[in-house]
Amino acid sequence: MTTYTDAFPDADGFFGGDIKGYGGRYVAETLMPLIGEIEAAYDTARADPEFQSRLAELGRDYVGRATPLYFAERLSEHFGGARIYLKREDLNHTGAHKINNALGQALLAQRMGRRRLIAETGAGMHGVAVATVAARLGMTCVIYMGATDIERQQPNVQRMRLLGAEIVPVHAGTATLKDAMNEALRDWVANVDDTFYIIGTVAGPAPYPRMVRDFQAVIGRETREQLLATQGRLPDTLIACVGGGSNAMGLFHAFLDDETVAMVGVEAAGEGLESGRHAASLNGGAPGILHGNRTYLLQDDDGQIRDAHSISAGLDYPGIGPEHAWLHDSGRASYVAVTDDEALEAVGLCCRLEGILPALESAHALYHAGRLAATQGPDQIVVVCLSGRGDKDMETITRHLGENPQ
């Protein structure tokens, strides 16, 4: 029997075959040999117990894993339906799931003898995570960040600088996440000898989508164990927000072969799908090729990439990881969209009922969880990945909800 978890991707990095599949290695020739090198090094490291135990040890003592699987009692009561559990990735060191992957890749970089880490960042959470592990491992760190994002995520910019990272503002294109990724790729092409590019999501050329997924899969593995231990059963529905989709792949992966577990990815609908101002590549895009992989993209009729829009900088990306594209087409997971306003509503609700300030990204998933839970009975279990905390978003939240939100 072919299972979802071990069959993908194939040797060429495709999820679902190379004709209609997603993924691949669509990069400039200069990078092809490097990507092959990373893949070989990763496969060796992955099978090396020493690498895995070092990763697990730092995950436990430095990152703070395992993160709790928390029963959100009052949120569940509020919606009067399914029981809602929150996987508390916001409690990780640096405040989001991003460090799971940053740590894994940085250890791989160290193993490969690379001394310089580069990364792109949108909301700044991946940038902070990379700057953090670079400091911990004594490596140089350069973070590419869109000029627009630098403006709206000042606290994270200051944090990265404090951690010793160099921040390079990107003014090209729309000056957001996709442009930061272009610029990081350009840096990498020019510094192939000493540099390791830590991509922050389950996108990019193979092996990145698989590698990042593997490093994030700890989220789903823990969730599975925790729920089995306390409830003696698997969840009915998993919900996570998707920009590139790394926290969602992390949560989903351990459950792909459990047919009874439904999976929902929540895209950013921005000002509404019909407005054209959104970041929903699956619900409002078409397949194409960008940043080294074939996947769903926001693009115009001429194949030019369109600007994404979301209130949350972390979801403000015109593409999505290729494995999500495949899960979407195959029907294994479904993908819905939640607007800026709905996400803000969820932020307020989660703060008042649970005393937890979620990141705007994660609030997209929370909103859908409420919407779904309300239609279900208390026998149902919904797990939401609370991918990050919302401290970084205070300025945006205050601007939209006012000084005295009710």
Partner 1 sequence: MNTASALSNTRLARCFATLREVDRAALVTYVMAGDPDADTSRRLLERLPAAGADIIELGMPFSDPMADGVAIQRAGQRALANGHTLIRTLEMVRDFRQVDDDTPIVLMGYLNPIQRFGESRFLQAAADAGVDGLILVDLPPEHGAALTAKARDLGLARIPLVAPTTPAERLPGLLAQGDGFVYRIAYNGITGGRHMAMEDRLETAVGELKRHTTLPIAVGFGIRDGQTAAAVARTADAVVVGSALVETLATQGTEAALALTRELAEAITIVR
Active site residue 246: no
Q: Which positions from 363 through 382 interact with partner 1, judged by CB under 8 A?
A: none
Residue in 39, 76, 89, 120 annotated catalytic: 120
Write down the least CB distance from residue 293 to partner 1, Å: 10
Residues whose CB falls within 8 Å of the CB of residue 316, separated by 6 or more in sequence, listed in order: 122, 149, 176, 177, 243, 268, 279, 308, 309, 310
Question: At which residue do the structure tokens 């760190």 appear?
Answer: 141
Residue in 76, 246, 387, 392 annotated catalytic: 387
Whole-angstrom CA distances from 139 to 116, 133, 188, 304 are 6, 8, 16, 36
For partner 1, which stretch binds (CB under 8 A), given 20-28, 123-131, 276-284, 336-344?
20-28
> Beta partners for 85?
71, 383
186: contact with partner 1 by CB under 8 A? yes
Choose between 12 and 395: whose C-beta lies nearer to partner 1.
12
Whole-angstrom CA distances from 72 to 242, 368, 373 are 21, 15, 12
Write down the least CB distance from residue 335 to partner 1, Å: 21
- Judged by CB under 8 A, which of 177, 305, 382, 386 binds partner 1? 305
List alpha helices for 30-123, DSSP H.
32-46, 49-58, 73-79, 98-111
- Judged by CB under 8 A, which of 6, 29, 50, 379 binds partner 1? 29
Rounded CA-CA distance 270/277 in Å is: 6
For partner 1, which stretch binds (CB under 8 A), given 183-191, 243-251, 365-373, 388-396?
183-191
For partner 1, which stretch binds (CB under 8 A), given 144-152, 301-309, 341-349, 387-395?
301-309
Choose between 222 and 323: whose C-beta lies nearer to partner 1.
323
- The 3-class SS string of 130-192 reads HHHHHHHHCCEEEEEEEHHHHHHCHHHHHHHHHCCCEEEEECCCCCCHHHHHHHHHHHHHHCC
26: contact with partner 1 by CB under 8 A? yes
Rounded CA-CA distance 116/152 in Å is: 27
Choose between 81 and 122: whose C-beta lies nearer to partner 1.
122
First vs last C-alpha separation in the chain: 53
Q: Listing from the earlier edge strand, what are the strands of the sheet with 22-26?
A: 14-15, 22-26, 292-297, 286-290
Q: How many chain residues bind partner 1 (CB under 8 A)?
A: 38
229: contact with partner 1 by CB under 8 A? no
30: contact with partner 1 by CB under 8 A? yes
Residue in 87, 98, 178, 392 annotated catalytic: 98
189: contact with partner 1 by CB under 8 A? yes
Residue type, 12: D
> Beta partners for 168?
144
299: contact with partner 1 by CB under 8 A? yes
Active site residue 178: no
115: contact with partner 1 by CB under 8 A? no
Contact between 397 and 312 (Cβ < 8 Å): no
Choose between 107 and 109: whose C-beta lies nearer to partner 1.
109
Q: Which positions from 263 through 292 interact with partner 1, judged by CB under 8 A?
A: 286, 288-292
Q: Which residues bind partner 1 (CB under 8 A)?
A: 12, 18, 24-34, 172-173, 178-179, 182, 185-186, 189-193, 286, 288-292, 297, 299, 301-305
Active site residues: 98, 120, 387
